[in-house]
């Protein structure tokens, strides 16, 4: 069993991870509509990873005999004017998710709930990687994306990203 406050925060995190999948699906659709299918692929893989994150939180509650409460996922209906904005929005989004996971971690520490902190350790590291890859994408776009040939090559590079299942098994 887990503390009620932790269960509430984890349930909220499930919704945030599914919302993240929606967020990246919106971005993937934007790039694909502009014929940047490599960017689209990168963000579709990202969306898949977010669904995995959500399911890891679902499984964590289930493994502890706790109730999973799914909430509405809001359609974001994002509109973008240029190719750079979604990349900056991605980094901002990941920083918000990092803060959210840190909040659960702090609450678990406060409750001396070390089972949850141990579970969250994977996500703490994962968020570092998520922020890094978003920042990397912004920098690559700044360097190469503004000229047609560079954008073509960057799109080809992002087309090569393949989905891999999360390294965390619970």
Q: Which of 26, 36, 107, 130 binds Fe ion (CB under 5 A)?
A: 130
> d(Cα 50, Cα 56) in Å, to the nearest integer?
10
15-23, 37-45, 131-139, 154-162 -> range binding Fe ion (CB under 5 A): 15-23
Q: How many residues bind Fe ion (CB under 5 A)?
A: 4
Alpha-carbon dihedral sign for residues 57, 59, 62, 68: positive
46-54, 75-83, 149-157, 159-167 -> range binding Fe ion (CB under 5 A): 46-54
Q: Which of 44, 53, 61, 83 binds Fe ion (CB under 5 A)?
A: 53
Kindly tell me which of 17 and 26 has the beta carbon lying closer to Fe ion.
17
* Shortest CB 127 distance to Fe ion, Å: 7
Record the tokens describing residue 144, joined without a space.
């190469």
In contact, 151 and 35? CB cutoff 8 Å: no
> d(Cα 113, Cα 93) in Å, to the nearest integer?
27
> d(Cα 28, Cα 38) in Å, to the nearest integer?
9
Kindly tell me which of 20 and 30 has the beta carbon lying closer to Fe ion.
20
Q: Which of 155, 132, 145, 152 is CA-nearest to residue 43?
A: 155
26 lies in the site for Fe ion, by CB under 5 A: no
> d(Cα 130, Cα 46) in Å, to the nearest integer?
9
Kindly tell me which of 143 and 170 has the beta carbon lying closer to Fe ion.
170
57 lies in the site for Fe ion, by CB under 5 A: no
* Shortest CB 101 distance to Fe ion, Å: 8
25-33, 37-45, 122-130, 146-154 -> range binding Fe ion (CB under 5 A): 122-130
b/e for 15-41, b at 16 or more Cβ within 10 A? Answer: bbbbbbbbbbbbbbebbbeeebbbbbb
Kindly tell me which of 53 and 107 has the beta carbon lying closer to Fe ion.
53
**Contact residues for Fe ion (CB under 5 A)?**
17, 50, 53, 130
């Amino acid at each position: 069993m887990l503390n009620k406050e932790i269960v509430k925060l984890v349930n909220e995190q499930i919704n945030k991870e599914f919302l993240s999948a929606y967020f990246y699906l919106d971005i993937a659709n934007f790039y694909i509509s502009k014929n940047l299918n490599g960017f689209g692929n990168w963000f579709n893989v990202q969306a898949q990873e977010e669904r995995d994150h959500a399911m890891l939180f679902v499984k964590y509650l289930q493994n502890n005999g706790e109730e999973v409460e799914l909430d509405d996922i809001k359609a974001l209906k994002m509109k973008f004017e240029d190719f750079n904005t979604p990349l900056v929005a991605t980094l901002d989004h990941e920083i918000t998710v990092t803060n959210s996971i840190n909040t659960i971690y702090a609450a678990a520490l406060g409750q001396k709930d070390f089972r949850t902190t141990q579970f969250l350790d994977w996500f703490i590291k994962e968020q570092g990687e998520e922020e890094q890859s978003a920042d990397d994408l912004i920098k690559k776009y700044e360097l190469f994306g503004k000229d047609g040939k560079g954008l073509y090559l960057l799109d080809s590079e992002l087309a090569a990203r393949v989905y891999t299942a999360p390294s965390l098994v619970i």
